[in-house]
């Protein structure tokens, strides 16, 4: 997928250029804030304080981060196979549906120790299944995965509206929400976990899903770079023809990559449905699937980069909410704008700055060589 520069050292290619891209995105965002008549520096201050300045803010930031890690990893694993999974939103939605359906059925009969892991697995399987259909169509019927995953987002959304309004709605209630799960089916909140250890922290939606997200990062790193399946995925993504010569079946690899991708996206349902809302409701995915695209591009499809990018987006989401609260002319959607700009600069225009950097680096290293010669 990447057209890495051959003349630049690694630290510039994977460190400096991505940083320049993000900075360009942030600069344009600052210009937009100026355009609507506010002070961008002040805005950044409010955002940072809102996201990192107090316990509850940090809790929210990490709660958003959890979602972005899942969706970012989901996009990344598909990218490694040369696939663009825009369906994270739908897969997350269906993943949440899976967890919700399972918990609604089983929450009165099973103990927590079984409910929670099984709920997590169901979420992953539902998400994976929702990704498997476009994957199958791409691998075996030749339809384009970008288009089918877009269509599947809409189909997922229509399916959820239908189920929530007609089937799963709690009787005698106007808003389309299911009944609240029983207590054993709730994932513990961070403030509850800390309370067990005798430490008191502020309430926030942050829950133990974050631990699972971090484990997924490590697991995905192992999977992509340390297993034969990961090798197959990278080979297909890099050069499908060469992969075939190496004895890899691209169709199967596409299925595998999308299956893992869908499962990861489905885990957003764990954080949202099992961790925060404790019931099924509409629109709990709130665009996290699309943010995953920005996160993955910014993190260069590497788990470590994705964690950092997720943290940045966590700060942006939480800080953006604070900013909207403090400054009436600014809304939360400013974060959506920043997200779009990040995708533009880190994704579509990722190599725009490369010629300039190459030129600068060339001059710099030449001068260094000259001064070394003079010294000698």
Partner 1 sequence: MEQSFLFLVLTLDATLRVSTPLIFCAMAGLFSERSGIIDISLEGKMLAAAFAAASVAAVTGSAWLALIAGVAVAVGLALLHGFACITHKGNHVVSGVAINILASGLTIVLGIAWFQRGGQTPSLPPTARFMPVEFPLAQAVDGVPVLGTIYRELLSGHNLLVYVAFLIVPLTWWVVYRTRFGLRLRAVGENPTAVDTAGLSVSWLRFRAVMLCGLLTGLAGTYLSIAQNASFVRDMTAGQGYIALAAMIFGKWRPFPAFGACLIFGLLDAVAIRLQGVHVAGIGEVPVEFIQALPYILTVILLAGFIGKAVAPKAIGMPYLKER
Residues engaged in binding partner 1 (CB under 8 A): 1, 32, 36-37, 84, 86, 137, 141-144, 146-148, 150-152, 154-155, 158-159, 161-162, 165-166, 290, 293-294, 297, 329-331, 333-341, 343-344, 347-352
Nearer CB in complex with partner 1: 66/85: 85
Nearer CB in complex with partner 1: 31/215: 31
Yes or no: say if 299 and 306 are a contact pair by the CB < 8 Å rule: yes
Yes or no: say if 209 and 57 are a contact pair by the CB < 8 Å rule: no
Nearer CB in complex with partner 1: 216/335: 335
Distance in Å, CB of 36 to partner 1, minimum: 4
Distance in Å, CB of 98 to partner 1, minimum: 19
Nearer CB in complex with partner 1: 84/238: 84
Yes or no: say if 50 and 322 are a contact pair by the CB < 8 Å rule: yes
Nearer CB in complex with partner 1: 125/350: 350
Q: How many helices (H) and strands (E) does the chain have?
A: 17, 0
Nearer CB in complex with partner 1: 22/338: 338
Distance in Å, CB of 155 to partner 1, minimum: 5
The burial of 241, by beta-carbon neighbours within 10 Å (0-12 exposed, 13-18 middle, 19 or more buried), is given as exposed
- Cα dihedral sign, 344-332-165-112: positive
Distance in Å, CB of 348 to partner 1, minimum: 4
User: Can you say how many angstroms the Cα of residue 355 is from the centroid of all Cα atoms in its chain?
Assistant: 30
Helix (H, G, I), strand (E, B) or coil at 10: helix
CA gap 293, 88 in Å, rounded = 9
Nearer CB in complex with partner 1: 2/108: 2
Q: Please report the DSSP string for 287-352 in residue order.
A: THHHHHHHHHHHTTT-HHHHHHHHHHHHHHHHHHHHHHHH-TT--TTHHHHHHHHHIIIIIITTTS
Any bridge partners for residue 172, and if so which? none
What is the Rg, in whole angstroms, of the alpha carbon atoms belonging to the chain? Answer: 22
Any bridge partners for residue 189, and if so which? 207
Distance in Å, CB of 154 to partner 1, minimum: 5
Distance in Å, CB of 245 to partner 1, minimum: 22
Any bridge partners for residue 207, and if so which? 189
Distance in Å, CB of 84 to partner 1, minimum: 5
Nearer CB in complex with partner 1: 101/343: 343
Distance in Å, CB of 41 to partner 1, minimum: 18
Q: Which residues contact 248 (CB under 8 A, 6 or more apart)?
A: 232, 235, 236
């Amino acid at each position: 997928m990447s057209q890495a520069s051959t003349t630049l050292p690694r630290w510039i290619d994977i460190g400096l250029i991505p940083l320049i891209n993000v900075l360009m995105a942030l600069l344009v965002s600052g210009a937009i804030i100026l355009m609507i008549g506010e002070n961008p520096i002040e805005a950044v201050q409010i955002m940072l304080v809102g996201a990192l300045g107090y316990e509850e803010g940090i809790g929210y930031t990490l709660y958003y981060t959890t979602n972005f890690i899942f969706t970012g990893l989901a996009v990344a694993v598909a990218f490694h196979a040369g696939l663009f999974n825009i369906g994270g939103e739908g897969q997350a939605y269906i993943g949440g549906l899976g967890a919700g359906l399972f918990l609604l059925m089983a929450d009165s009969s099973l103990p927590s120790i079984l409910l929670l892991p099984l709920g997590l697995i169901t979420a992953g399987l539902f998400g994976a299944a929702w990704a498997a259909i476009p994957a199958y169509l791409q691998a075996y019927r030749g339809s384009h995965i970008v288009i089918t995953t877009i269509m599947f987002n809409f189909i997922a959304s229509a399916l959820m509206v239908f189920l929530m309004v007609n089937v799963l709605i709690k009787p005698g209630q106007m808003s389309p929400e299911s009944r609240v799960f029983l207590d054993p089916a709730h994932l513990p909140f961070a403030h509850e976990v800390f309370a067990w250890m005798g430490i008191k922290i502020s309430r926030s939606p942050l829950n133990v899903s974050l631990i699972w997200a971090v484990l997924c990062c490590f697991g995905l790193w192992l999977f992509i770079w340390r297993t034969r399946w990961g090798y197959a995925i990278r080979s297909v993504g890099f050069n499908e023809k060469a992969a075939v010569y190496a004895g890899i079946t691209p169709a199967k690899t596409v299925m595998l990559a999308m299956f893992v991708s869908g499962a990861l996206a489905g885990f957003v349902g764990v954080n949202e449905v099992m961790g925060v809302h404790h019931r099924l409701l509409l629109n709990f995915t709130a665009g996290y699937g699309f943010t995953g695209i920005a996160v993955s591009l910014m993190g260069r499809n590497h788990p470590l980069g994705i964690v950092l990018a997720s943290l940045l987006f966590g700060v942006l989401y939480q800080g953006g909410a604070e900013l909207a609260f403090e400054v009436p002319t600014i809304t939360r959607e400013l974060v959506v704008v920043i997200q779009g700009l990040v995708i533009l600069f880190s994704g579509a225009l990722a190599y725009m700055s490369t010629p300039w950097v190459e030129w600068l680096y060339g001059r710099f290293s030449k001068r260094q060589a000259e001064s070394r010669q003079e010294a000698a």
